Amino acid sequence: MFKDLIKLDRLPTSWCPGCGLGQIMIQLAMVMDGLGLNHTNSTVISGVGCTGRLAGYMNVDGIYTLHGRTLPVAEAVKLVSPDLKVIVVSGDGDLASIGGNHLLHAARRNPDLTVLCNNNNVYGLTGGQAGPTTPRNTKTVSTPAGATYDPVNLQNLMKAGARYFYAKTTVYHQLHLRNCIKEAIAWPGFAFVDITCHCIENNGRRLGFNSAYEMLQHFRRTYKRAPDGAETLGPDEIGIVRQG
């Protein structure tokens, strides 16, 4: 049962009602359950942030690292215990901002890690400030007049090396999300899953969405599956690009 992978006695979670993080956790648990991954053979490593809490709710051993230091910690766990399935779950701020340097170098070294990036376009936990993934002109608590810079292009970053696995998906597209997680876990190298997710409380409402449902519908309307064999995903496409 996938529920065995979640600490049910810790529910309800500290996440806001409607937050997409619950979907990511459930899909991860379902995939792990299907693959026979559990506390005997897997670990979930997380950084600090709303996403970081996910590791604490999973019924496997884990490390709650410092904000930004998630990847080197996970890489070292994998080095010391190569038989362990090491899954990293962290925020876009944690991975691409304060931990951005580690992201470049972890991708370059290509360790066998699965990285689930909760891409909610803001620093959720600290209140919804603009971060590395915030689209230009977005109004956030730290950019009331609109974000000044273009966001980092995670796909291009991941494809900078000779070997890569980059999946883009959303929490609306649950089967797609599940499949991306499954493929990423099967990938024998650094697999990065960029999950578009809604932070309704600290981002969505400010953008004019009244509910998490409205944000999910927005994802449904916006994102389309990339054609089979696509080598690059367009800005509104979901899919997987990889090179081994």
Residues near ligand SF4, by CB under 6 A: 15-16, 19, 21, 50, 120, 124-125, 199-202
Q: Which does 41 bind (CB under 5 to 8 A by kind): other proteins, ligand TPP, ligand SF4, none?
A: none
| 200 binds, options other proteins, ligand SF4, ligand TPP, none, Cβ within 5 to 8 A by partner type | ligand SF4
DSSP state of 210: -
Q: Is 48 in the site for ligand TPP (CB under 6 A)?
A: yes
Toward ligand TPP, which CB reaches closer, 49 or 189? 49
Segment interacting with ligand TPP (CB under 6 A) among 123-131, 168-176, 183-191, 226-234: 123-131
Does 124 help bind ligand TPP (rule: CB under 6 A)?
A: yes
HSE on the CB side for 196, CA within 13 Å? 24
Beta bridge partners of residue 238, listed in sequence order: 225
**Measured at CB, which residue is nearest to ligand TPP?**
91
Residue 125 near residue 81, CB atoms below 8 Å: no
Interaction of residue 118 with ligand TPP, rule CB under 6 A: yes
Partner whose binding site includes residue 64, from ligand SF4, ligand TPP, other proteins, none (CB under 5 to 8 Å by kind): other proteins
> With contacts defined by CB under 6 A, how many residues of the chain interact with ligand TPP?
16
Residue 87: its H or E element: strand 85-91
DSSP 129-180: EE-TTPPTT---SS-TT---SPPP-HHHHHTTSSSEEEEEEESS-HHHHHHH
- Per partner kind, with CB cut-offs from 5 to 8 A, the member of other proteins, ligand TPP, ligand SF4, none near residue 19 is ligand SF4
Residue 94: contacted member of ligand TPP, ligand SF4, other proteins, none (CB under 5 to 8 Å, by partner type): ligand TPP
Pairing state of beta strands 114-119 and 62-64?
A: unpaired
**Can you tell me which of 41, 126, 142, 211 binds ligand TPP, judged by CB under 6 A?**
126
Which of 20, 62, 91, 189 contacts ligand TPP by CB under 6 A? 91
Distance between first and last Cα of the chain = 33
Among 20, 93, 189, 239, binds ligand TPP (CB under 6 A): 93
Pairing of strands 114-119, 122-123: unpaired
CA pair distance 131, 202, nearest whole angstrom: 13
> Between 36 and 135, whose beta carbon lies closer to ligand TPP?
135
Polymer length in residues for the chain: 244
Q: What gap in Å lies between CA 152 and CA 136, rounded to an integer?
A: 10
Q: Nearest-CA neighbor of 181 among 7, 4, 3, 34?
A: 34
Kindly list the residues in this chain that would bind other proteins in the complex (CB under 8 A). 48, 64, 66-68, 97-98, 100, 123, 125-127, 129-130, 132, 141-145
